[in-house]
Amino acid sequence: MNWTCTQTEERLSDYLDGLLAGEERREFDLHVAACSRCAPLVRQVSGLVGRLRALEPLEVPPQLVPAILDQTLGPRKEKKEGRSGLFGWLRPVWQPRFAMGAVTVMATLLILLQALGVRPSALTASDFNPTNLYRNANRHAHLVYARGAKFVNDLRVVYEIQSRLRLESPPVPASEPEATPPQPNPQQKTERDGKPGRSAIREPLEFAAILIPVPRSLR
């Protein structure tokens, strides 16, 4: 049997992988030993196979395995526990649309606590005693009422004095309001703001402020 160059090329991998046996292998060897075309080919491919098999597999990028696990099993356990643990029950309401409501509730609670006399920074067991809560609330209610009543009374005094002074002072000439301002107590006004030419009764509130010390002069 005459072994040809084409046969050598076709059966080269069989030869290298040990799948050529007996007569065929001998024919192959004989041909290659004598053929100047096939010898280098066998040497080249044989060398290549040896080199390829000796190549180390490539290293896997470090982020690949975590990425695969994240994609298949979902985010890692640590993150999951962090979310579903302590505040997990809040998730259904932890949304922007509830933010305004939450702020309002917080503000109301703060006001209520303030009114009940509970200080969140120094909570004690007695703060939750209903009797204490009632007492505090009652005290605050009375305090607010008393402050309101005092304010109204003060205002009444001021307006009373103001209206009496208005009756005593001469009417303001319409043509020269700045030249002869009606000043019930010019000395007092000058002492206060150092602007004698300024109208004192045009603004009742300012007038009232001036009048706070007036009762002394009226005594």
Partner 1 sequence: MEPDAQLVQLCLRGEGPAWEELVRRHTRRVYNLCYRFTGNGAEAEDLSQEVFLRIYRTLASYREAYGGFATWLTSVTRNLLVDHYRRTRRDRITDSLDDALPKLEEKHSATRAPDKLALAGELSRQVQQALSHLSPELREAVILRDLQGLDYREIQVILQVPEGTVKSRINRGRIELARLLEEMGLRPE
Q: Applying CB under 8 A, does 24 fall inside the site for partner 1?
A: no
**Closer by beta carbon to partner 1, 48 or else 123:** 48
Residue 171, class by beta-carbon neighbours within 10 Å (0-12 exposed, 13-18 middle, 19+ buried)? exposed
b/e code 123-159 from CB counts within 10 Å (16+ = b): eeeebeeeeebeebeeeeeeeeeeeeeeeeeeeeebe
Non-local CB neighbours of 74 within 8 Å, separated by 6+ positions: 80
**Closer by beta carbon to partner 1, 11 or else 166:** 11
**Closer by beta carbon to partner 1, 78 or else 168:** 78
**Of 1, 6, 36, 59, which one interacts with partner 1 (CB under 8 A)?**
59
Helices 204-211/186-193 angle, 10° precision? 100
Of residues 61-100, those binding partner 1 (CB under 8 A): 61, 64-65, 67-69, 71-73
DSSP structural state of residue 161 = H
Q: How far is the CB of 43 from partner 1 (least distance, A)?
A: 5
**Of 2, 18, 21, 52, which one interacts with partner 1 (CB under 8 A)?**
52
Q: Applying CB under 8 A, does 48 fall inside the site for partner 1?
A: yes
Long-range contacts of 203-209 (CB under 8 A, 24+ apart): 204/159, 204/162, 207/162, 208/158, 208/159, 208/162
Of residues 180-209, those binding partner 1 (CB under 8 A): none
Please tell me the count of residues contacting partner 1 according to CB under 8 A.
36
* 84 three-class SS: helix
Cα 146 from Cα 155, distance rounded (Å) = 14
**Of 45, 118, 161, 208, which one interacts with partner 1 (CB under 8 A)?**
45
How is the chain split among helix, strand and coil, in percent rounded to 5? Answer: 70, 0, 30
Q: Applying CB under 8 A, does 53 fall inside the site for partner 1?
A: yes
Q: How far is the CB of 18 from partner 1 (least distance, A)?
A: 11
**Of 44, 108, 114, 217, which one interacts with partner 1 (CB under 8 A)?**
44
Q: Applying CB under 8 A, does 21 fall inside the site for partner 1?
A: no
**Of 26, 37, 43, 135, which one interacts with partner 1 (CB under 8 A)?**
43
Q: How far is the CB of 16 from partner 1 (least distance, A)?
A: 8
Give CA torsion, residues 150, 155, 157, 160, to 10 deg: -160
Q: State the residues that interact with partner 1 by CB under 8 A.
A: 9-14, 16-17, 40-41, 43-53, 55-61, 64-65, 67-69, 71-73
